[in-house]
Amino acid sequence: MLTSSRFTYQRPSDEAGRGRRRRRLSRAMRVPRVLRRLRPVLLQVSLILQLSLPVQLLVLGGCATRVHSVPPPAPVAAPVRKPLPPMPPPPPVTRRPVEAPPAPPAVPAAQAITLGHSVQGRPIVLHEFGSAGPCLFIFGGIHGSEPTSVDVAEGILGLLRTYPGLYSRCRVAVLPRANPDGLMRGRRANANRVDLNRNFPARNWKRREGHGTRPGSEPETQALLAAMERLRPAAVVSIHSIQNQPPCNNYDGPGGQMAETLARYNGYRVIASIGYPTPGSFGSWCGGDLGIPTITLELPRRQAGGEAWRDNQEAMLALLRSFADVGHPVTAGG
Ligand SMILES: [Zn+2]
């Protein structure tokens, strides 16, 4: 058969060949009869194998199947800890005792304080030297008619200001003007006409004119009592001047050795009694009643202040040095 150029001409021989190849392929594709008969059996075997696959995986330890098959783990109980045995006591700490640092050296100190005021309002000033140790208290001018006692007290102030070593191990306090009103007028008593050295609360105080309305009634006396309370002195020197009698180192209480020390330098006599009663005096109260070594230094009344200081400078320096060295008044005798 003729076709256009676009068609392929198939010869009859080719058609016959194609039929033979189709038949051969059909025979090749044909399932053997034995297999067709065994086909149901093979399908069942295949189904059984598919169903048993999870079991096989489980047996073989397959991960996915095992995860879903294993029950959740039981909660893990908290571990029971055995209580720890009691701790043995710590070994005693042996430490070297800490040694206290050495005490700093005493710093000398000086200050002036106003203890009170006189009847007429004049200040009564106390000068303190030293910061520690026993105290030596010195005062003058309790009688306004005895100004040389002020000169000697102020001379002692000059010594202390010049030689701080005198109070490096003790305290020294000086009150130069115990009766400023009387000193201003040059009279023995204060502005109330009271003899202050008869106004102290001694056991022998007597109610008399010029002794005050009561022991310690005067502001000047109260200032001296305040000084005693403040200082708690180990020894006291009260400076006076005397007329119609030779000067002396009079002492009350256990002040005999102090009087002897002064006498070696000022040459004054040492006496335990001034020779007349002095009720309510400072010496009676401080030395006699309180038992504090007390010196009543009686200067010559008519001597000038400068001369009195010249005669007593070495005596006072010796007293200050002995007090500073020993740290307490040397007491002997009575
Ligand atoms: Zn006097």
Residue range 136-187, pLDDT digits in tens = 999 999 999 999 999 999 999 999 999 999 999 999 999 999 999 999 999 9
pTM of the model: 0.68
Local structure of 271: helix, strand or coil: strand
Distance 241 CA to ligand 1 centre (A): 6
223 falls within a domain = yes
Looking at per-residue pLDDT, the higher value among 28 and 293 belongs to: 293
CA 214 / ligand 1 centre spacing (Å): 20
In a domain? residue 58: no
pLDDT in tens, 304-321: 999 999 999 999 999 999
Contact 240/303 with Cβ under 8 angstroms?
no
78-127 confidence digits (pLDDT tens)? 555 666 666 666 666 556 656 666 655 544 589 999 999 999 999 999 99
**E-assigned strands of the chain?**
110-117, 123-129, 135-139, 171-175, 235-242, 248-252, 269-271, 294-300
Residues with CB under 5 A from ligand 1 (ion): 143, 146, 240
Helices (H) and strands (E) in the chain, counts: 10, 8
The average pLDDT across 284-307 equals 97
> CA 165, CA 270: separation in Å to the nearest integer?
28
53, pLDDT greater than 60: no
Place of tokens 């009170």: 116
On whether residue 268 sits in a domain, the answer given is yes
Give 48-64 as a DSSP string.
HHHHTHHHHHHHHT-HH
Domain of residue 235, residue span: 110-326
Rounded distance from Cα 230 to ligand 1 centre (Å):
24
In a domain, 256, yes or no: yes
Residue 52's contacts (CB-CB under 8 Å, 6 or more residues apart) are none
Q: Please identify which residue in the block is written with the tokens 């206290």.
A: 100
Distance from the alpha carbon of residue 328 to the mean position of ligand 1, in angstroms: 26
Instruction: Provide the annotated active-site residues.
Output: 298
- Angle at Cα 12 formed by Cα 10 and Cα 16, nearest 5°? 110
Query: Which pLDDT value is given to residue 105?
Result: 52
pLDDT of 64 over the 50 cut: no
> Quick check: is 39 in a domain?
no
Using the predicted structure, report yes or no on whether residue 203 has a pLDDT greater than 80: yes
Q: CA 223 to CA 231: how far, in whole Å?
A: 12
Out of 32-41, 50-59, 121-130, least confident range = 50-59
Ligand 1 centroid – CA 317 distance (Å): 22
Q: Is residue 142 part of a domain?
A: yes
In a domain, 83, yes or no: no
Q: Are 179 and 124 in contact (CB under 8 A)?
A: no
Q: Which two tokens stand for residue 175?
A: 């009150």
CA of 37 relative to ligand 1 center, distance in Å: 163
Say which CATH number the domain at 126 has.
3.40.630.10
Spacing, Cα 143 to ligand 1 middle (Å):
5
List b or e across 53-64, with b for residues whose CB sees 16 or more CB atoms inside 10 angstroms.
eeeeeeeeeeee
Give domain status of residue 42, yes or no: no
Q: Pick from 207, 198, 197, 331: which is nearest to 258 by CA?
A: 331
Counted domains in the chain: 1
